[in-house]
Amino acid sequence: MNIRQYIPAGILVAVVVAFQLAVVLTGQDYLLTQLTMSAYYALVIIGLSVLMGYAGQISIGHAAFFAIGGYTAAVLTTGAFRLSPWLSLAVAVAITVVIAFLIGIPILKLKGHYLAMATLSFGVIVYRIVLGTGVFGEADGISDVPGFTLLPGLTVTGGAASRVENYYIAWFLVTLAIILLINLINSRVGRALRSIHGSEEAANAMGVNTAGYKLAIFVLSAVFAAVGGVFLTHYTGGIGPSEAGVMKSVRYVAIVAVGGMANIWGALVMGIVLNYLSLRGYFGTYDDIFFGAILIIIMLFYPDGILQRKTLDDLRSLARSLVARIRGRR
Amino acid sequence: MSFFAVENLSRAFGGLQAVSDVSFAVREHSIHAVIGPNGAGKTTLFNLIAGSLAPDSGAIRLNGDPLQSLPPYKIARKGIARTFQNVKLFRHMSVLENVMLGRHVRSRAGFGAALLNLPHTWREERSIRQRSLEILDTLGIADLADADAVSLAFGKQRIVEFARALATEPTLLLLDEPAAGLNMHETDEIARLIADIRARGITVLIIEHDMSLIMDISDHIAVLSSGKKIAEGTPAEIQRNRDVIAVYLGED
Amino acid sequence: MTFEHVLQYLLAGITIGSIYAIVAIGFNIIYNTTGIINFAQGEFLMVGAMTAVTFSRLVPLPLAIAIGIAVTVAVGVLIDFVFIRNLKKPTVLNMIIVTIGLSIIIREVALHVWDEKVRSLPYFTGDEISSINILGAYISPQALWVLGICATMVVLLNVFFKYSVMGRSMRACSANPVAARLCGINTKNMVTMSFVLSAAIGALAGCVMSPITQTQYDCGTSLAIKGFTVAILGGLGNSTGAIIGGLIVGILEEFSISVMPLAYKDAIAIAILLLIMFFRPSGLFGKQEVSALKEF
């Protein structure tokens, strides 16, 4: 067994713990709330990064799966149903698997623009449904979703009292997801997924069931998104139609692109940083413009993402030319 | 029953009969070639055999099992590997990883096992790596293992593609114009490689335009013209065949 | 349903369908020279109409529309110069992402410039009351303007592509860019020209439809999805197909109102889109290869 592949995950755990300690020591534990939310969004993003970066299949509809998870949990644990959150989680995952499977079979036969448009359209349909259906609360969404008691004394819910434990619940999930994805990427299956990206025709000729693998990774990434949706809905106590919006899906794609397509660590880091800044309101009313702009800038200047050597080299040469210029002036 | 056989295979595109009622049999451990001038239907025939096209009628059999209308990945699982005319290596993957992908049909770890990294998957992964390195070594390109596959020179890429195909441990190797785009020196190298592959007990079916390569290495040749088989025999017989000469001279 | 009702829906469907056809032709023009589906195509209509609305208070309507077109063309040229020409890795995935990013930026800038209010141009001639009665159905003078202008645009585009040197060069580029370059055609300029043309027809379509459907900063996305539906229905790159496809989608949408709640009207186009892509990705009139042509 290759222990070395888990070193980054160990570093992640250390960083998570260190951050929590630092925040508590400096008395700024309110920051943990946005980090918890960012972690749930990161679940969508790392799943999408494997779908897009490794298997090479774009999806501009992943917010739909997040919403399917969140809305299922919200509907089933409130109002007439009031089911146990565990049960509603299971139902949400099951529904997501079925929908991703059924929509994935025809959609994943498409390529390029067609795949992009089809996933975008799927997202729009889900958005219209949650926006126009009474059960889903129409424009208001669903609120008063109860907490999710995982174990006695350990509940996914908002509020200052349970901030620290929720931070750890969210990051436990992210770490778990990352470890699963690392395993996948470094396996025979991961290699097959990358080969589809490299040349679908050759992959098929070498015995890779390309349609099957594409469907499997599509469903897996949808499940990651749905689980993120379920937990975030319990954490914030509600969900609204904007979670299903096209803009959310585009934002996920943007973050994956910034992190570097085939790089789950890049996707995770950028997912946390950008979602955190956005949730803290740093971009104000320019939130959407910001994400539109980073999409374009990344594609123009850093089509392989910004977390790579080239960025450092660029910065270094920029610094060098600045230094040279300053010296020249003397 | 022959080892591999194409029986009355036909395929049309609109009004054009690209392959028309073609039959031939390939003996085990032989090098069998299909030649013909441009537009003779060679590529269509190849695509039919490799499963990227479905025939209108006719059969393709490996040890009697019908292969026609199976998708390419299932054909690969039957022990048939192929190369591409313009070399299709996997982008964003190293030479070693390309060859390791060739071991896909010879390994089993599924989606669930891979997610959980169960002990048998990492043991399997280790043997995949080992076997792939051995193959690179026998083809003399072990030093390229970590190079980015698609940035190699074209001739080297072709050898990597051979290595990838051999990694599947095929019983039948399909070669689509293996000399296309190569210089004379590289063509000689490929000829030696093909002979070497046959010596290991792998049957080879080549579709080729380059006559000199074919005449040197094949045991048996079928000639296509306008979608039909017009001749079949040993290289010596084909060289004397009047129809073949007419077709090739007519072309030039 | 009475005959008058059927005729009424039909007329409404043809009117909105001809707008969709123009959006689809806009997609086609850029697709044919670059292989890019410009996801910001819908925003061209929005920018054209919004600019014209703003200027219509200051200058006469025809001049306001001309300004709207000019501004939109400037945006189109800017997109080509700044973004399309500078793309380092012009893969399909990257181009999709860039044009999506552009559509978001244009939309959000429009939000900051014009706020969220719904606006519209006045009727070009007459008003709602001066509708014309045809066999019991009513058609507004603006609908006639829509039909007339869309038809004129289609005819002019056809003449342009068939007979002018520039139009023929653009067709050469789409058929074979390398050969076109070897023949001395500046393919980059042809790409710019395609952005100019498709921005111009988009802006004009946006202006002429504005009095009927009204315009808001975020109306581009749904227009783009419908225009794309129509483009695929007619076969990507095929402009005759786009006209027929536009009419089909427009008419189906209007008739859907009589059997389904109004809220689901937009879902019709998307449902058609998904159905075509699954069962006939080359479109009703397209060549089989087109869908396989562009890979990542």
Cβ of A203 within 8 Å of Cβ of B77? The answer is: no
Reduce the DSSP state of residue B65 to 3 states and report it: strand
Q: Is the pLDDT of residue C27 over 70?
A: yes
Q: Which chains touch A (3 or more CB pairs under 8 A)?
A: B, C
- Position A201 confidence tier, pLDDT thresholds 50, 70, 90: very high
Q: How far apart are CA C150 and CA C19, in angstroms?
A: 7
Interface of A with C in 262-321 (CB under 8 A): 285-286, 288-289, 291-296, 299-301, 303
Would you give the DSSP letter of residue C121? P
Q: Are C3 and C213 in contact (CB under 8 A)?
A: no
Q: Which residues in chain A have their CB less than 8 angstroms from residue B174's CB?
A: none
Q: How far apart are CA A174 and CA A167, in angstroms?
A: 11
Q: How far apart are CA B4 and CA B70, in angstroms?
A: 15
Cβ-proximal residues to A297 (8 Å cutoff; 6+ apart), any chain: none
Packed helices A7-25 and A31-49: angle between N→C axes, nearest 10 degrees = 160
What's the confidence (pLDDT) of residue B150? 93
Interface probe with A: pick from C41, C95, C104, C265, most Cβ of A within 10 Å:
C104
Q: Is the pLDDT of residue C25 over 90?
A: yes
Cβ of A299 within 8 Å of Cβ of C98? The answer is: yes
Question: Could you tell me if A322 lies within 8 Å of chain C, comparing CB atoms?
Answer: no
Distance from B104 to chain A by nearest Cα, in Å?
Answer: 7
Q: Where are the beta strands (DSSP E) in B36-171?
A: 57-62, 65-66, 80-82
Its ipTM equals 0.92
Q: How far apart are CA C272 and CA C139, in angstroms?
A: 27
Q: Which residues in chain A have their CB less than 8 angstroms from residue B92's CB?
A: 194, 197-198, 262
What's the confidence (pLDDT) of residue A301? 82
Q: What is the secondary structure of A213-233 as a DSSP string? A: HHHHHHHHHHHHHHHHHHHHH
Q: Report phi then psi at B34, rounded to 5.
A: -120, 120
Q: How far apart are CA A145 and CA A142, in angstroms?
A: 7
CA atoms A218, A220, A224, A227: torsion sign: positive
Cβ-proximal residues to A155 (8 Å cutoff; 6+ apart), any chain: A147, A148, A149, A162, A165
Interface of B with A in 148-177 (CB under 8 A): 164-165, 168
Cβ-proximal residues to A95 (8 Å cutoff; 6+ apart), any chain: A68, A72, A226
Q: Is the pLDDT of residue A263 over 90?
A: no
Q: Is the pLDDT of residue B81 over 70?
A: yes
Q: Is the pLDDT of residue B20 over 80?
A: yes
Q: pLDDT tens digits for A162-191?
A: 899 999 999 999 999 999 999 999 999 999
- Position A237 confidence tier, pLDDT thresholds 50, 70, 90: very high
Cβ of B73 within 8 Å of Cβ of A208? The answer is: yes
The one-letter amino acid at A307: L
- Of the candidates C81, C69, C78, the residue with the CA atom closest to the CA atom of residue C44: C69
Element (H, E) at B94: none
The one-letter amino acid at B32: H
Cβ of A288 within 8 Å of Cβ of C108? The answer is: yes
What's the confidence (pLDDT) of residue A87? 96
Instruction: Give the pTM.
Output: 0.89
Q: Which residues in chain C have their CB less than 8 angstroms from residue A283's CB?
A: none
Q: What is the secondary structure of B204-251 as a DSSP string? A: EEEEES-HHHHHHH-SEEEEEETTEEEEEE-HHHHHH-HHHHHHHHHH
- The more confidently predicted of residues A152 and C281 is A152
Q: How far apart are CA B248 and CA C260, in angstroms?
A: 67
Q: How far apart are CA A82 and CA A72, in angstroms?
A: 12
- Of the candidates A168, A220, A217, A267, the residue with the CA atom closest to the CA atom of residue A57: A217
Q: Which residues in chain A have their CB less than 8 angstroms from residue C37's CB?
A: 113, 116-117
Element (H, E) at C277: helix C265-279
Q: Which residues in chain B have their CB less than 8 angstroms from residue A191's CB?
A: 93, 97, 100-101, 104
Q: Which residues in chain A have their CB less than 8 angstroms from residue B107's CB?
A: 188
Nearest CA in chain B to A201: B88
Q: How far apart are CA C80 and CA C29, in angstroms?
A: 14
The distance of Cα A181 from the centroid of its chain, to the nearest Å, equals 13
* b/e code C182-192 from CB counts within 10 Å (16+ = b): eeebebeebbb
Please report, in angstroms and rounded to a whole number, the separation of the first and last CA atoms in chain A: 59
CA atoms A271, A277, A280, A284: torsion sign: negative
Q: Which residues in chain C have their CB less than 8 angstroms from residue A58's CB?
A: 93, 96
Q: Which chains touch C (3 or more CB pairs under 8 A)?
A: A
Distance from C121 to chain A by nearest Cα, in Å?
Answer: 27
What's the confidence (pLDDT) of residue C88? 72
Mean pLDDT, rounded, for C109-123: 91
Mean pLDDT, rounded, for A93-100: 98
- Angle (CA) A210-A214-A217 rounded to 5° is 140
When the pLDDT of each residue in chain C is averaged and rounded to a whole number, the result is 85
Q: pLDDT tens digits for A283-323?
A: 888 888 888 888 888 888 887 777 776 777 777 888 888 88
Q: pLDDT tens digits for C29-61?
A: 988 888 888 989 999 999 999 999 999 999 999
What is the pairing mode between strands B16-26 and B203-208? unpaired
Q: Are C276 and A107 in contact (CB under 8 A)?
A: no
Q: Is the pLDDT of residue B248 over 90?
A: no
Q: How far apart are CA C153 and CA C207, in angstroms?
A: 14
Distance from A219 to chain B by nearest Cα, in Å?
Answer: 12
Q: Looking at the DSSP assignment, which residues form a beta bridge with residue B205?
A: B32, B174
Q: What is the secondary structure of A9-56 as a DSSP string? A: HHHHHHHHHHHHHHHHHTT-TTHHHHHHHHHHHHHHHHHHHIIIIIS-
Q: How far apart are CA B42 and CA B52, in angstroms?
A: 14
What's the confidence (pLDDT) of residue C85? 83
Selecting from A114, A118, A295 the residue whose C-beta is nearest the C-beta of C101 gives A295
For chain C, give every domain's residue range. Answer: 3-217
- Of the candidates B140, B128, B60, the residue with the CA atom closest to the CA atom of residue B98: B128
- Position C295 confidence tier, pLDDT thresholds 50, 70, 90: very low
What's the confidence (pLDDT) of residue C162? 87
Reduce the DSSP state of residue A2 to 3 states and report it: coil
Nearest CA in chain C to A295: C101
Q: Is the pLDDT of residue B250 over 90?
A: no
Tokens 């509809």 correspond to A61
Q: Is the pLDDT of residue B61 over 60?
A: yes
Cβ-proximal residues to C187 (8 Å cutoff; 6+ apart), any chain: C33, C173, C177, C180, C181
Q: How far apart are CA A64 and CA A55, in angstroms?
A: 20
Q: Which chains touch B (3 or more CB pairs under 8 A)?
A: A
Q: Looking at the DSSP assignment, which residues form a beta bridge with residue B31?
A: B204
Q: How far apart are CA A271 and CA A43, in angstroms?
A: 9
Q: Are A264 and A175 in contact (CB under 8 A)?
A: no
Q: Looking at the DSSP assignment, which residues form a beta bridge with residue A149?
A: A155
Tokens 């610094």 correspond to A319
Interface of A with B in 40-69 (CB under 8 A): none
CA atoms B54, B60, B62, B67: torsion sign: positive
Q: What is the secondary structure of A180-200 as a DSSP string? A: HHHHHHTSHHHHHHHHHHH-H
Selecting from B92, B100, B115 the residue whose C-beta is nearest the C-beta of A262 gives B92
Q: Is the pLDDT of residue C260 over 70?
A: yes
What's the confidence (pLDDT) of residue C286? 56
Cβ of A183 within 8 Å of Cβ of B117? The answer is: yes
Question: Could you tell me if B83 lies within 8 Å of chain A, comparing CB atoms?
Answer: no
Q: Where in chain B is the domain with CATH 3.40.50.300?
A: 1-79+171-252
Q: How far apart are CA C85 and CA C100, in angstroms?
A: 16
Question: Could you tell me if A60 lies within 8 Å of chain C, comparing CB atoms?
Answer: yes
What's the confidence (pLDDT) of residue A320? 85
Element (H, E) at A104: helix A85-107
- Angle (CA) B32-B163-B213 rounded to 5° is 35
Element (H, E) at A267: helix A264-279
Q: Is the pLDDT of residue C289 over 80?
A: no
Q: Which residues in chain A have their CB less than 8 angstroms from residue C291's CB?
A: 110-111, 114
Mean pLDDT, rounded, for C97-121: 90
- Position C259 confidence tier, pLDDT thresholds 50, 70, 90: confident
When the pLDDT of each residue in chain B is averaged and rounded to a whole number, the result is 91
For the domain made up of A3-329, give the CATH fold: ABC transporter involved in vitamin B12 uptake, BtuC (1.10.3470)
In this structure, CATH architecture of domain B1-79+171-252: 3-Layer(aba) Sandwich (3.40)
Nearest CA in chain A to B91: A198
Q: Two tokens at A156?
A: 């996914």
Q: Are B21 and B9 in contact (CB under 8 A)?
A: yes
